[in-house]
A and B are shown apart, each in its own frame.
Chain A
Amino acid sequence: MDPRHDLERLPEEEESLLIRGARAGDRQAFARLVERYWDGLFRWLYQVSRDRHTAEDVAQEAFLKAFKGLHTFREGTNFRAWLFRIAHNTFANQRRTSRPRQPYPDELPSRDEGPLDQALSREALQLVARAVGRLPADFRAAFLLRAEEGLSFRDVGKALGITEETARWRVFKARQKLMTVLAPQRDREKP
């Protein structure tokens, strides 16, 4: 079993305590939140930006902004969605001023392999990765928040600054496009 799974099961009450501590200026507490959310945030930003440096830069900036803006976070709401919203805004601002997007890499970076990864062939991963990489950016961002981060449509909407219905529609369109691109040849030929 992937040992990281143990770490991801930290209870929600502990998260609330960490948030309260961080709000009071406890850097250790916020560092725990960074450790908890970094991988997911980086993963999403990498898929959206297709650039490792951009993803790392935006993740760092987003965490710093989150630390400074913790007083605006409403307790009881979804911290993950709130954090991704900050990251999304940061990325959108950066995209306006920085270099053009990188093409999606042909060779996938290696990743830590769990049992599921081993079961999936590299070729299949490559195929899906390419198809996801070719989705329009807005659809991709919404789809990955749902598929990777498990955010509800409502929280996807909050993270991206759109309505719940628009979030649902973007995920719908992303799935539809992926299913078309990844359909076996005979399915595509059907009317």
Chain B
Amino acid sequence: MNCNALRNDLLGLEEPARPAEASARNHLVRCPACRAWHRRLVYVERTASRLPVPSSAGARDAFVRSFLVGDEAAAKPPASPRRSVALFLGSLILDRHASPRRRTGAGVVIGVAASLLLFVAGWLVWHGQQQDARALAVAQKAPADPLVAELARRSVAVKVEEGATARQRIEAMADAAEQMRRRNKDLASGASAPEMDQWAKLYVRVVKEGILGRAGELPVAERREILEPIAVRLQEAGSEATRLLTEAGVREQSKNALREIAVAAAEGCVLLQNLYKTDRS
């Protein structure tokens, strides 16, 4: 087998890293040029399989939530933002050759749009707070477990405590997540399905809103020190919840909730790591 034939063979394999034919393997042993070429092929294939993409976790979660409540309209993709309108208006303002009337008109449209945006943003913040209060009330009422009620109360206390720093809030929530994690096993074998669902929802909120939602507020210099131990604990929590899925004695009806906990913990760990690793550079 000559070099060209070998390389063509390797390019057409499902697994170029592991050529099955003895003649190909022998050639690679004998020919340093083909060996180097083969190493590069494997490297390119592996690198291509891990190319970075933006996170779409938010879109996925929103889709799943809408889908679960049967809201097909909301689950359907919204119309893509028409960036072209903004670009068109912007170009009119910036374009020195556009007539003054057109430039003024475009400025007015942008001004109105900006006011509307501010109003909508304000409404969303207010509405979000109302929903928070309602959701916490539900979390406090629904589960029979006193720890859940305690955690929900703690969450509210940290939220309303004016003087609490971002660090205090995050660490309080990380402790809450840790306490919850210690109860997962007992609950997974004893709690009813609705209780387990509530439990998982509360855990996801503690991680997403209590920890991740606040982590960006930490000063860059402090992030690693504060977030690294939390990321480690979340990683352990994720692995533990995944392990519980296969353990005897865990109720079938608890498994969805355990998966939610595992996903939230694992994602939380990765996102926190990203945050302090990214900011190091």
Given A31-B64, A32-B256, A125-B51, A112 contacting B77 (CB threshold 8 A):
no
Within 8 A of B (CB), among A50-106: 52-61, 63-64, 67
**How many A residues have CB within 8 A of the partner chain?**
63
Distance A63 CA – B77 CA, assembled complex (angstroms): 11
The reply to whether B259 and A124 contact each other, CB–CB distance below 8 Å, is no
Q: Determine if B94 is an interface residue (Cβ-Cβ < 8 Å).
A: no
Shortest Cβ distance from A58 into chain B, in angstroms?
8
The reply to whether B266 and A4 contact each other, CB–CB distance below 8 Å, is yes
The reply to whether B11 and A35 contact each other, CB–CB distance below 8 Å, is no
**SS class of chain B's interface: helix, strand, loop or mixed?**
helix
Shortest Cβ distance from B275 into chain A, in angstroms?
10
Shortest Cβ distance from A125 into chain B, in angstroms?
6
**SS class of chain A's interface: helix, strand, loop or mixed?**
helix
Q: Determine if B12 is an interface residue (Cβ-Cβ < 8 Å).
A: yes
Shortest Cβ distance from B34 into chain A, in angstroms?
12
Digit string of A157-189 for contact with B (CB within 8 Å is 1, else 0)? 000000000001001100110110011000100
Q: Determine if A2 is an interface residue (Cβ-Cβ < 8 Å).
A: yes
Which residues of chain B have C-beta atoms less than 8 A from A63's C-beta? 63, 67
Given A64-B72, A64-B76, A110-B278, A116 contacting B50 (CB threshold 8 A):
yes
Which residues of chain A have C-beta atoms less than 8 A from B262's C-beta? 6-7
Q: Determine if B14 is an interface residue (Cβ-Cβ < 8 Å).
A: yes
Given A3-B235, A60-B76, A143-B48, A31 contacting B67 (CB threshold 8 A):
yes
Distance A174 CA – B53 CA, assembled complex (angstroms): 20
The reply to whether A109 and B52 contact each other, CB–CB distance below 8 Å, is yes
Shortest Cβ distance from B143 into chain A, in angstroms?
19
The reply to whether A42 and B56 contact each other, CB–CB distance below 8 Å, is yes
Given A7-B242, A34-B60, A63-B63, A179 contacting B53 (CB threshold 8 A):
no
Q: Determine if B139 is an interface residue (Cβ-Cβ < 8 Å).
A: no
